[in-house]
Amino acid sequence: MQNLSSNTSIAELEARSPAMLAALKSTGMFREGDSSVTIGELCLDFGLHPQIILNMLARAGQNDPPPDIDISELESLSLPEIVSHVEAAHHQTARESMPGTVALVRQVVAAHAERDARLREVQTLFEKMATELEDHMIHEEGALFPMCRDMSELGSIKATPCGDRVGGPIQCMTNDHNQSKQELARLCELTDDFTAPAHADAQYTDMLQQLKAFADDLTLHIHTEDHLLFPRALEMQASLRERGQNP
Ligand SMILES: [Fe+2]
Ligand SMILES: [Fe+2]
Query: In this predicted model, what pLDDT tens digit does every residue of 153-196 receive, in sequence order?
Result: 988 888 888 788 898 899 999 999 999 999 999 999 999 999 99
Q: CA 232 to CA 214: how far, in whole Å?
A: 26
Residue 34 has pLDDT above 80, yes or no: no
Q: How far is the CA of 137 from the centre of ligand 1 (A)?
A: 5
Q: What are the residue ranges spanned by the domains of the chain?
A: 10-61, 73-242
Residue range 70-86: average pLDDT? 96
With 90 as the cut, is the pLDDT of residue 131 above it? yes
Average pLDDT over residues 126-141: 97
pLDDT tens track for 197-215: 999 999 999 999 999 999 9
Residue 98 CA to ligand 2 centre (angstroms): 16
pLDDT at 121: 97
**CA 9 / ligand 1 centre spacing (Å):** 32
- pLDDT of 21: 82
User: For residue range 38-56, what is the model confidence (pLDDT) as tens digits?
Assistant: 888 888 888 888 888 888 8
Ligand nearest to the CA of 91: 1
Cβ 222 vs Cβ 177: under 8 Å:
yes
- By the 8 A CB rule, do 243 and 154 touch? no
CA dihedral 125, 89, 233, 216 (to 10 degrees): 40
Near ion ligand 2, which residues have CB within 5 Å? Answer: 173, 225
Q: Is the pLDDT of residue 33 over 70?
A: yes
Predicted model pTM: 0.76
Q: How far is the CA of 95 from the centre of ligand 1 (A)?
A: 11
Residue 50: CB partners within 8 Å, gap ≥ 6? Answer: 6, 39, 40, 43
How close is the Cα of 173 to the center of ligand 2, in Å?
Answer: 6
Ligand nearest to the CA of 180: 2
Binned at pLDDT 50, 70 and 90, residue 247 comes out as: low
Please check the confidence at residue 242 and state whether its pLDDT lies above 60: yes
Ion ligand 1, residues whose Cβ is below 5 A away: 140
State the distance from the centre of ligand 2 to the C-alpha of 46, rounded, in angstroms: 19
